[in-house]
Amino acid sequence: MTAVDVRAWIAEDLGAGDLTSEAVVPEGARARAVILLKERGVVCGLEPVRAVFEALDPEVAFEQVAADGDETEGEIARLEGDARALLGGERLALNLLGRLSGIATLTRLHVDAVDGTGVTILDTRKTTPGLRALEKYAVRCGGGTNHRLRLDDGVLIKDNHLRLAGSVGAAVELAKGSGAEVEVECESLEEVREALAAGADWLLLDNMSLSRLVEAVALVAGRAKLEASGGITLDNVREVAETGVDFISIGALTHSARAIDVSMEVL
């Protein structure tokens, strides 16, 4: 359940009105339609799609055939209502479904790829401006887990912070004072040792090779949670998972997912 106000998005697509429907479809005409996944994928976004059509026709009947999180193909929803409203909301509805289902599907592929390893697949803050809540929800629909939602959500000390704070030790000490868990980005085993000594609770192992990850897991020996990140794809995600890290975070889940092919057909 997310809070979506779709009116601004409708205005973005509708502008001064739908010239084609005004010309071609009689005022007050009614229509039935189905929404279809044209390729197999994990459905995501049916609630905002319902909100789109309800904003254009408060009396629309919207029936879900599938639920968010289902992996399926073909018909996922049926609609009946004002014909101009169905056509006026079609593109926005499909844009939402295509993108969110694309993210859920890509997440599911990664989650399945690490099945049995005990590793948790995380997203990142590399989301589309304006859509973070929905994209994070899509990751959950795909079986992933959300990493930090915002900058207010936890402490994660990255290379840019270290340049400003001086040393890992100094930065971690300052951050521990806030009472929150502290995560530190490490690019070398040296930095891993330093962060561990400073009391970091969680280490982000950035762009490390598989053998380096294995060394890091051995070195840390359970004293902090370990998250691998950087350069991880469907091809290597299982190997990374098998190094023994606890988490793998993947920016591409949200910034580079291909849209799923979705269409609406008036009956």
Residues 8-37 that bind a second copy (CB under 8 A): 8-25, 27, 29, 31, 33
Of 211 and 222, nearer to a second copy (C-beta) is: 222
Q: At 79, phi and psi to the nearest 5? A: -130, 150
- Check residue 42 for interaction with a second copy (CB under 8 A): no
- Check residue 2 for interaction with a second copy (CB under 8 A): yes
Active site residue 38: no
DSSP state of 145: B
Active site residue 185: yes
Least distance CB 3 / a second copy (angstroms)? 4
* The dihedral sign for the CA sequence 148, 153, 156, 161: positive
Gyration radius (Cα) of the chain, Å: 23
- Check residue 168 for interaction with a second copy (CB under 8 A): no
Least distance CB 210 / a second copy (angstroms)? 21
* The dihedral sign for the CA sequence 253, 255, 257, 260: positive
Nearest CA to 115 out of 237, 31, 209 is that of 237
Active site residue 153: no
Cα–Cα dist 189/184, whole Å: 13
- Check residue 179 for interaction with a second copy (CB under 8 A): yes
- Check residue 169 for interaction with a second copy (CB under 8 A): no
| Whether the Cβ atoms of residue 191 and residue 168 lie closer than 8 Å to each other | yes
Q: Which residue in 7, 38, 40, 158 is the catalytic one? A: 158
Q: Which residue numbers are catalytic?
A: 91, 126, 158, 185, 206
